Amino acid sequence: MQTQMKGKDFITLQEWNNDEIDTLLDVSFDLKRKFAMGVDTPYLLRKTAFLMFFEQSTRTRNSMEAGLAQLGGHANFLDTSTMQVSHGEVAKDTGVILGSYGHGIACRNCFWEIGNDYIRNLAKHAKVPVMNLQCDLYHPMQGLADLMTIQEKKKDTRNLKVSVIWAYATSHKKPISVPLTQVLLFPRYGMDVTLAYPKGYELPDWVIEQARENAKKNNGKLTITHDQEEAYRDADIVIPKNWGSWVSNKSDDVIDDLLEANKYWKCTEELMSLAKDDVMYMHALPADRGNEVEDSVIDGPHSIVFDEAENRLHTAKAVMSVTMGSK
């Protein structure tokens, strides 16, 4: 376990080693226990964080705002359309100034080939830790909460078959950041990860190379298939979720011929029956109900999506505690 993480940026879990992630998880579980018992946790008393959002948010914004309040601090929500960013102010200037006003900066920017670079520019120039609330490539807050949930429900993560499965959705062209984060992270904890998607929805080659390396170092596995039944078969955990064809098609169009050709990629009770009897269904939310998943699955006995969502609060508090803390 590592304890010296004050000031460390939280941009991708790939830049945090397993000992550091284990510390975050340990703190998350401790904070969750204290939350359940009503024990005060004033670890960031009078600390301030600035939360910059280029996109909409429910779980991420509220877990950060409520979390920092529960830690004794204050979160400033910043809709970037009302900031000078909308008039062209560069990340350097924003990072320097906001960093001088408080103790942390968090940002969500999912614009393809822009978001991660923007957040890294904030971090380069801010003198406080910068936290990635989701970009075009990574969603470390979600990944950490997912890992916490899997550990909580399954205890031993080794050799679990965890299937990250593309699913049909029409709500918007979603980032690749959630599945990308999962396939990089889960093999580091000994999981047998199956990545399933129709051709055309590939993740970047460098991601697959890194995920295979992570698996090799940690006795995990990564299997890629274009057969969703193979992904469901004998799975311990299934995570059917849409992501956009950004790697092969940079258009912002939500609905196209490729998407419509794969409407049958949907989490159904029939597909769930191929998995293990105690299979668990996960989703980062919001789910495109009726497209990505049948209501009977997401609302059924195998679903742990609300436990997963609650853990966003506790992991967010852990990240802020160890990076913004006074130690």
Query: What pLDDT does 2 receive?
Result: 77
- Average of per-residue pLDDT across 42-62: 97
Query: What pLDDT does 326 receive?
Result: 64
Query: What pLDDT does 79 receive?
Result: 96
Domain boundaries, the chain: 13-139+311-324, 142-308
- Average of per-residue pLDDT across 312-327: 92
How far CA 325 is from CA of 5, 15, 170, 286, 320, in Å, comes to 9, 19, 41, 31, 7
Short-list 3, 305, 21, CA closest to 147 = 21
Cβ(282)–Cβ(146) below 8 Å: yes
> How far apart are the C-alpha atoms of 215 and 204, rounded to whole Å?
17
pLDDT in tens, 141-150: 999 999 999 9
Q: What angle do CA 324, 36, 102 make, to 5 degrees?
A: 20
Q: Going by C-beta distance under 8 Å and a sequence separation of 6 or more, which residues neighbour residue 212?
A: 187, 222
15 C-beta neighbours (distance < 10 Å), count: 12
Judged against a pLDDT cut of 70, whether residue 327 lies above it is answered with no
Among 171-175, 302-306, 323-327, whose mean pLDDT is lowest?
A: 323-327
- Domain covering 13-139+311-324 in this structure, CATH number: 3.40.50.1370
pLDDT in tens, 85-97: 999 999 999 999 9
> How far apart are the C-alpha atoms of 35 and 178, rounded to whole Å?
27
100 C-beta neighbours (distance < 10 Å), count: 10
- Per-residue buried b or exposed e for 33-60, using 16+ beta carbons within 10 Å of the residue's own CB: eebeeeeeeebbeebbbbbbbbeebebb
Share of the chain above pLDDT 70, in %: 99
Short-list 310, 293, 313, CA closest to 302 = 293
Taking the alpha carbons at both ends of the chain, their separation in whole angstroms is: 16
pLDDT in tens, 275-302: 999 999 999 999 999 999 999 999 999 9
**Per-residue pLDDT band at 3 (split at 50, 70, 90):** confident
pLDDT in tens, 196-251: 999 999 999 999 999 999 999 999 999 999 999 999 999 999 999 999 999 999 99
What count of Cα atoms within 13 Å lies in the side-chain half-sphere of residue 43?
A: 21
263 alpha carbon, distance to own chain's centre? 25
- The beta strand positions in the chain, using DSSP E, are 48-53, 74-79, 104-109, 130-135, 161-166, 192-196, 221-225, 237-241, 280-281
**Per-residue pLDDT band at 167 (split at 50, 70, 90):** very high
Short-list 325, 282, 237, CA closest to 31 = 325
Q: So what's the architecture of 142-308 in CATH? A: 3-Layer(aba) Sandwich (3.40)
Domains 13-139+311-324 and 142-308 belong to one CATH topology = yes
- Average of per-residue pLDDT across 264-280: 98
- Mean pLDDT taken over the chain: 97
3-state secondary structure of 288: coil
